[in-house]
């Protein structure tokens, strides 16, 4: 069955029938509307390989990283956001592949950590930005990871700021459900060492998790898939006990091949993990952070900025040293 026919059938099936309850706004399954995951042709790893074909590290980085499907992150650097997301999912749709996008522009982003501080200028500016983000995707199939770290660290925030953040996330989910019916949105839920399962379940629920397809774990971190699966199951146990529902979850496996050594900011000795796939203990194992991209001016990335591609770090991560 062609991609366009599958899309049309999914759209028709999503129409509410007379005298029947309308189906869930996020009921469509984008994995069945596509044929595998999309490889970003303009990822930082691919750009580096193309620019450095004679480098002795290029072949390994090309084979092990650059051609693995992984997420593209969108923020203030992306220009007109609806145009940017539309072009990206359109390119993936043309190839009948499923793109992975990260929305990373919430107001007061990384407020307590600071390495990736920034984001939209105000809650209203964020609401406009995320509405355009969703509108760019429209009815085409996609996966979106919503605002990494946003629920992980409330330590330096006032209750008013927490309420404001959770309202922004709930508003974002409403936009995706309204404008992007074939997108699965995963709210980010940090990692197993950030907040206990009960705390994270409460934060997810208060930020509107019921509207989302699921939640994401380990984004830009290093904890093993087994640790994350246990944590995700624990969060679901709390959700079931407190609120009467559970959600699927995905795990960022891009850099968790050796697990964590307790450091989160460019630690040495880490290794790439299981390439992007469905299943594997979670609903999906995804490369959300690009291996070799810096976490900030720290660790083995001293002197770099967050998001900068470091070929030596990428090369060592392939082999785990």
User: Catalytic site residues?
Assistant: 149
Of residues 311, 313, 318, 293, the one with CA closest to residue 53 = 311
Kindly give the residue spans of alpha helices, DSSP state H, lying in 223-310: 225-243
Sign for the CA dihedral angle at 130, 136, 140, 143 comes to: negative
**SS3 of residue 181 by DSSP:** coil
How many angstroms separate the CA atoms of 237 and 164, rounded? 27
Distance separating alpha carbons of residues 76 and 120, to the nearest angstrom: 7
Question: Burial code of 28-55, b = ≥16 C-beta within 10 A, e = fewer?
Answer: bebeebbeebbbbeebbbbebbeeeeee
């Amino acid at each position: 069955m062609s991609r366009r026919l599958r899309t049309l059938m999914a759209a028709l099936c999503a129409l509410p029938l007379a005298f029947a309850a309308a189906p869930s706004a996020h009921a469509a399954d984008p994995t069945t509307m596509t044929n595998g995951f999309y490889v970003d042709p303009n990822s930082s790893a691919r750009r580096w390989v193309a620019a450095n074909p004679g480098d002795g590290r290029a072949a390994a980085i090309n084979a092990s990283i650059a051609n693995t499907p992984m997420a593209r992150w969108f923020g203030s650097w992306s220009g007109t956001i609806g145009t940017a997301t539309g072009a990206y999912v359109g390119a993936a749709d043309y190839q009948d592949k499923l793109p992975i996008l990260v929305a990373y522009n919430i107001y007061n982003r990384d407020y307590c950590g600071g390495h990736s501080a920034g984001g939209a200028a105000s809650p209203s500016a964020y609401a406009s930005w995320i509405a355009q983000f969703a509108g760019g995707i429209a009815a085409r199939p996609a996966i979106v990871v919503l605002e990494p770290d946003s629920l992980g660290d409330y330590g330096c925030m006032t209750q008013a700021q927490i309420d404001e953040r959770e309202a922004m996330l709930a508003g974002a989910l409403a936009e995706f459900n309204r404008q992007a019916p074939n997108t699965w949105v995963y709210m980010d839920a940090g990692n197993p060492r950030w907040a206990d399962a009960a705390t994270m379940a409460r934060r997810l629920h208060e930020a509107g998790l019921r509207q989302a397809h699921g939640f994401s774990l380990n984004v830009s971190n290093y904890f093993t898939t087994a640790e994350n699966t246990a944590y995700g199951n624990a969060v679901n146990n709390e959700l079931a006990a407190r609120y009467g529902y559970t959600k699927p979850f995905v795990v960022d496996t891009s850099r968790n091949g050796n697990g964590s050594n307790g450091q989160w900011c460019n630690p040495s000795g880490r290794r790439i993990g299981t390439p992007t796939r469905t299943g594997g203990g979670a609903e999906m194992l995804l490369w959300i952070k690009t291996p070799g991209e810096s976490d900030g001016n720290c660790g083995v990335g001293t002197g770099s900025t967050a998001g900068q591609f470091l070929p030596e770090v990428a090369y060592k991560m392939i082999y785990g040293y």
